[in-house]
Structure 1
Amino acid sequence: MKTQVCIVGAGPAALLLGHLLRAEGVECVVIERQTPDYILGRIRAGVLEEITVSLMARLGLDARLRAEGLPHGGFNLADGERLIRIDIADLTGKQVVVYGQTELTRDLMAAREERGLEVVYEAADVALHEVESDAPYVTYTKDGSEHRVDARFVVGCDGFHGPSRKAIPERVAREYLREYPFGWLGILADVPPCNHELIYANHERGFALASMRSETRSRYYVDVPLTDRVEEWNDERLWDELAIRLGPEAAAHMTRGPSLEKSIAPLRSYVFAPMRHGSLLLCGDAAHIVPPTGAKGLNLAASDVHYAAEALTGFFRRNEPDRVAAYSDTALARVWKSERFSWSLTRLMHRFPEDGPFERAMQVAELDYIASSRAAQTAIAENYVGLPV
């Protein structure tokens, strides 16, 4: 099989890129090792920045997003005694939209046949070859046979554990890693949220987050030691802990219910550079991981896709090879700003095991400053709603 762009992975970033390229008449094929049901079964983020919403609108695939998404003009920081509301609508003139990543992926999947986006699912043993040349190719096995896709470019949207990043030689690679000493224990339940906006809480017992996927489905988190196991946290214990950490105001409006899903996710900040080598481009988790504190994971992948689509469309449709050459530097400039925001919000809202009285006093001072300073709130709001691309 021959194509112009071979995309490895079929999560939301890969499908978004595939649709953007097809809309510009660029040939592409998407290769995915999992089944569609497996991809849709993954529980992921639900806060969409303007860049993600605008790309769906540009493709004309935002009908359900507009009908079912929940526009949010603010969010809250809780310090155990009060809610500090960050009014992003007033401070930036923009908003975020709560719409589950699973639903966005479903919308992109549903349109692939009509839009002529070819996706090969259940492709095993995916491998990238000759990425330093102008004629890279991807091999995989399916139904007992080996297949090969020849392309001009390969784009790795295959996550942190996929093969794409590993195809970049160690001699040119740089990795930046910060692992955090806790994980997020999350519960998904079909109950109305306790607040119409998100609450990030810093409590003496640890961090908590009240979030939602819809007006009838809630997503809550608490941070726990990495040694904890999900089995140690039955629903009752987790709801009790959430009520304590989120504070009496949120607890009074909390509806408890059986968990649909519970899991513990480790937190890390990670950046891989370069995000382009030869004819290979990386997007999303293949190149970077952010802690979920700032709701940046999917949105950062969407900005990568925006830059990659512009670069590849420029190469094939407008004879602009320099856009591809500049892709890594362009994408990384925004990646590092998002990494900084997610790291700083994580540092502000969590109690780290090594912290002492001084570090706690700094958190209190910072939260007091944010509560009283429009300038501080504006900086947070600009980052939360999404920096320009």
Structure 2
Amino acid sequence: MNTTNETRGPAEFEKVLPGSEDAVVFEEDRATVLRRVHHFLHAYPTAVPFIVLLFTIGVFSAIVGDRFFAPFNLSLVLQQVTIIGTLGIAQTLIILTAGIDLSVGAIMILSSIVMGRLAVVSGVPVGIAFPLGLATGMACGYLNGLLVTRLKLPPFIVTLGTWSIFGALVLFYSKSQSLRQQEVEAVASFLQWTGNAIPIGAARLTFGSIVMLLLAALVWYMLNRTAFGRHIYAIGDDPDAARLAGINTSRTLIAVYVIAGLICAIGGWILIGRIGAISPNSGFNANLDSITAVVIGGTSLFGGRGSIVGTLIGALIVGVFRSGLALAGLDALWQEFAVGVLIIVAVASDQWIRRISL
């Protein structure tokens, strides 16, 4: 019985096969290129959403034509994503710690209702009502952080519960009644200030968008230039290792939720300026939209990786998709369909990048 082939190893088989050395070199080169791509995407998480944004703009400019690049349409897209971008900034802080906050939309609405009804209905001076509205957002965030850290409950469950609680408080305090634009303007016009705009040719840049960009710049600085920001990334990457390194994880998490609540309250102020009125029914899907912007923007749902810039790009991608599809004459149903596909692709990409980088 001839056992020659049975005793040969894989390397010997490769030498026997014609052209096998070239095939091995090709496979090694391809693996090296993929590895470099993986490391690049892991080091620069905003690269993918930025490429997607440019590709999306190119596609819709080819389909829709000059209407897409009209200054008015571009400024309208920015106005539409201002609320999503603002809440996305808050959501990014939470997700970087490997958590998630389903209550950001409810916190935003509750804060806007508090500052609005105190000023318009109760006659409290705006200089007092506005800070109380901000304090409401911070208190909601503190409650979320306290439940997550003290009771050791999953952030998803905690914020799912507080989402219902804050939503019930909105209906209770507002009595399911909206305050019209004229009522707010007559008593507390400052609350509508974020809706004012600076004309730039045919475009309009609202103060709400400027506030969003300033918030993004401040949070970016905090995450990238302060020890507190490094602690946030460390907790999201490995909470046990962060604890062993001397980081007070509970205090840091509570601070993150409080800051996120404050940003949501500022989002409530921007919301009043956006719609001109104070309504308990506005921003109903804002919590899901904020998660969409964060995920599409390249922030990992597992924590420890992501950026504020990526979140803003993610919000712009959602706005560009909806605007482009609307200009193309497609139904709103397909706009939501496209956004859903984007979310799945973004999460799949994150899994792929994370698996290679581990």
For Structure 1 versus Structure 2, the TM-score category normalised by the shorter chain is under 0.3
- Greater share of strand: 1
- Greater share of helix: 2
Structure number with the bigger relative contact order (C-alpha 8 A, sep ≥ 6) is: 2
Q: Name the larger-Rg structure.
A: 2
Normalising by structure 1, we get a TM-score of 0.24
Normalising by structure 2, we get a TM-score of 0.26
